[in-house]
Amino acid sequence: MKNQKGSAVLVLLGFILCLSFVGWSGLRVYKSIIFNIEVGGHLKRAADANTIELAKEEMEIVVSYLEKSGMKSGYTSVLYNTPNEDVGFWYKNLKSALEELKKITPEFTQLEKSNVLIKLRETLLDSGEKGLHVTMPPGISISPNNSGYAFFGWISALLGVVGIIVIIFGLDL
């Protein structure tokens, strides 16, 4: 009888230890979804815009969000920096694209406006194995807190492994 109680306690403890990893994973998914709604979707709409006005509206939403969120500089990486993780370059590129759109006046010809929209599309989209996708630094959805998320991820993964071991040990009792 005592063995069953001890086993149940160990299994419960193991599940509790695993919850930190589940929580971390859930938070990462949530942040990714929110970022794609707030930024990724608007970048895609700006790239797909058929008029300068539409593209400018979408780009203003994105730049405003990035400024409010403090995503204007730094890198998304934790251990080493690579060019594709440079938030500062990405932000400046988006900001300058918005400034280009703001310079367009009604006096511009349709060809000039089309060229600006084509340039914007090339700036915002990249082609990959699965077709076109919005250009964003990897890990940008949790920026500028990437180090904290990495630390919490490693700790929660370690606790999850310990939890699984505890569950297996508890089931063997």
Contact 117, 49 (CB under 8 A): yes
For tokens 């400018």, what's the residue? 56
Does residue 173 surpass a pLDDT of 80? no
Mean pLDDT of the chain: 93
Q: Is the dihedral of CA 73, 79, 80, 85 positive or negative?
A: negative
- What mean pLDDT comes out for the span 89-93? 97
For 33-37, 41-45, 100-104, 124-128, which range has the lowest pLDDT when averaged over its residues?
A: 124-128
Reported as a pLDDT band with limits 50, 70 and 90, residue 1 is very low
How far apart are alpha carbons 136 and 144 in whole angstroms?
14
Mean pLDDT value across residues 12-39: 94
Helical (H) or strand (E) element with 125: strand 125-128
Q: What pLDDT was estimated at residue 68?
A: 95
The yes-or-no verdict on residue 137 having pLDDT over 90 is yes
In this prediction, residues 136-156 reach a mean pLDDT of: 93
pLDDT over threshold 60, residue 90:
yes
Instruction: Please give the pLDDT value at position 8.
Output: 86
Q: What is the DSSP code string of 52-86? A: HHHHHHHHHHHHHHHHHTT-SSSBS-SS---GGGB
Q: What is the pLDDT of residue 171?
A: 82
- Is 70 exceeded by the pLDDT of residue 133? yes
> 72-81 pLDDT, tens per residue?
999 999 888 9
**For position 5, what pLDDT does the model report?**
78
Is the predicted pLDDT of residue 131 greater than 90, yes or no?
Answer: no
**Full-model pTM:** 0.85
